[in-house]
Every structure is written in C-alpha cells, then in structure tokens.
Structure 1
C-alpha cells in the first residue's frame, strides 16, 4: 500500500519536463494518427495542470499550454498530409465500432457543410479531433483555411483545459489530504482510459480493413 501511495507522490513531484514529454506525445498522436482516437487527451491535459499546480508556478502551466498548442498544430498538419497523400482513400474497418464508414460520413459531411467552423469546433470533440485532419486532407480542403482553423482551435483548447486543471489544483492544495486523493483518482482514470483505448484499438485493427474514398462516402450519405 505504501508503494502504491509512493507512486502517486512521485507523480505529484514529477519534474515539468516529464509532464511536458507525456503531454506533447499524447497530444501529437491524438491529432495525427488513428491511434489517437483511443487516447484520453482532454483528461490528460486537466491532470497535467493539476500536477503542475503542486510544484510549479502559473508560468510553467502557461508554457505547457503554449507547447501543447504547437504539438496539436503539428499533429494536425501531419494528419492532413497523411490524408492528402492517401489519394483520398481512408482506411476503415468492416463492422468497426469506431473506424467505420458511418463516422467517416459524419466528419466528411460536417466538413463539406461547415468547412472552417467544423475544423474549429472539432477540437472539442475527441473522436472528431482525430478524424478531422485525415478527412480534411483526403477531401483536399483548402490547406490555408484548414491551418488557420486548426491553429485557432488549438490556441483556445490547450490553455483552457490545462489552466482549469492548474487552478483547480491550487484550490485542492488548500486541503492537505485532498491532492493525493484527487491525483490518485485522475491517474487511475487516465490509466484505465489508456488501457481500454489500447484494447479497443487492437480490436479495431484486428478487423478486416476497408478502403473508402471520401467522395464515395459523401455520395452514399447524400442518397
């Protein structure tokens, strides 16, 4: 039991560079690759803010926010390029629970109807956040418009979640026993989310792949 508690104490006093490395990696993957569809990005940013509040000033949290914006924008650009170079073909899974033509339909039609605003709002919808760059690239959405929208979305998304965690953490620290408890719960939730996500990802990847063009998906949706 003491070892278990010590693990959370070690997390609470983890150096900012460790927190930064974890956050940047997860955010980049979530915005660039299909595996990001199964990662708990929002809860990770809130937890990172709470961790920083225990041993760092607000300038560290704002610096992490700025770095997270860059990681998100870079991930979005990689996702766009992957979709663009895929020749308008995106890999989905037959009878997939997440990687299916229905979800592809929804993102494709959302981009077709709302364009700039769809990219901007997609930042706040976890599974759309991962699909959107790939579909935007495959659909040959105007790259300049896409970049502006995805960047503006990152500028708002990253600091809001991290600073919510940070200021919540400063409040929690006023009660001596509360911070370890909250961190324990948050870390358990994160680890459970990652574990379930990896399990779902392996399940999806084990299913038969299905290659679908964006135009075909859109036409099927409109009929």
Structure 2
C-alpha cells in the first residue's frame, strides 16, 4: 500500500491516495442508480465510470473493495431499472420525447421499442451494454406492459454481465500496468478526465434537451 501511495505521489496522483474508496463508492452507486432509473442518466458516462472506479481502487490495492463494489453496484443497477420500469408503467413515455430533441425524440423511442419487441428478454439483457438503450429500456418495458418477473430476471442477468465486468476490468488492467508507471498514469488520468468531462457534457446535453417542448404525440402502445 505504501508503495502504491508513493507511486501515486510521484506521478501527481497523490489525491487518489487521500480520496479513499468511500468516495468511489458514493459516486459509483449514485451514478449507477441515476443512469438506470432516471432520464438524466441517459447522458451520464456509466460505462467509463465503472471502469474508472476499478482503476482508482487499484491505486489503493483494494481488491476486496473492487469485488464488494461490483456486487453492491450490481444490486443498485437492478433496483434502478426496477424504478424505471414502474415509472414507465405508471406514466408511459409521453413525457419523455422532445420536439427537436437530438436524443430524447420519437424516432429513438420507436427504435427502443422495436428493439424490445424483436428481442424481448434478450433485449433487456443486452441493453446494459448500449448506453441510451440502457436508460430507455426499463421505461419502454414498463409502458409496454412487459411481465414484471420476466423483466426482473432479464435486468438482473444484464447487470451481472455489465457491472462486475467493467469494475474488475479496470481494477486488474490497472494492476497489470503497475510495472509500467507512465502507461498506468495514462490509464488513471484518462479514466478520470473522461469521467469528469463526460459528466459535465452529459448534464449540459440533458439541460439542452429538456428545454425543448414535449412531443405529446408520442406514447408507447401497450403490449
């Protein structure tokens, strides 16, 4: 651990040694829930955040923390999707699409629904790996009346394949690069910078989209 901290300080990453895994947990769990449950999550860099979390935990040599975070974030992702599902079941999708929206628009909602109609169970599993589908799929599934138990099984299977894969990939990739300090530094800084700027850009995009009027012609038909 002392060696890791010394290396972090040497390359200008000493703030990682003081931030602590607790901060990583707080950020990851809150972002994963928002991305899986709320429309604003459509614009957040969930994949890069999970990978970056593994990289940061590797700086603390916290293998147990990486595995534990994978498990808790997995549960959070499932709970978030359940919230999205029930929001869709209660309100449909008529308040989501925006006239002139670049992401929140009727064609994207129609594509999400068509993807769900064609693939069903497998669509919810695969949706974890498709950023904008990941957030829209639970809402569309709820609005379309997909069986709640079937949805729960599918979203759980998807979360198992998504969350631990990215967190542990970041952790072990960073661990393998400890013998190449400059490359390890690039990986850490790249993850952090991408996450920070990705989040700022996502919030800006969300605000731009929400300023547009609601496209009240849009409603997902019940299955």
Give the structure 1 partner of residue 34 of structure 2: 29
After TM superposition, the structure 1 = structure 2 runs for residues 1-223 of structure 1, keeping only pairs within 5 Å, are 8-87=13-92, 89-211=94-216, 212-215=218-221
Shift of 1:90: 4.2
C-alpha separation between the residues in 2 aligned to 1:145 and 1:170? 38
Structure 1 gaps of 5+ residues are: 219-223
Structure 2 gaps of 5+ residues are: 1-10
Choose between structure 1 and 2: higher strand proportion. 1
**Structure 2 CA distance for partners of 1:88 and 1:50, relative to 1, 3 Å:** closer
**Is contact 2:143-2:221 (8 Å) kept?**
no
**Is contact 1:13-1:55 (8 Å) kept?**
no
C-alpha separation between the residues in 2 aligned to 1:50 and 1:177? 14
Shift of 1:32: 0.3
Does the residue aligned with 1:92 lie in a helix, a strand or coil?
A: coil
Task: Give RMSD over aligned pairs.
Answer: 1.8
Shift of 1:13: 4.3
**Is contact 1:119-1:150 (8 Å) kept?**
yes
Moved over 6 A (4+): none
Once structures 1 and 2 are overlaid, which stretch shifts more, 154-163 or 88-97?
88-97
| Deviation sequence 1:4-24 (CA, Å, 0-9, x none) | x75x42135421111011000
**Structure 2 CA distance for partners of 1:73 and 1:181, relative to 1, 3 Å:** same
| Deviation sequence 1:159-178 (CA, Å, 0-9, x none) | 11011101111012223344
Shift of 1:26: 0.6
Task: Please give the TM-score of this superposition, normalised by the length of structure 2.
Answer: 0.89
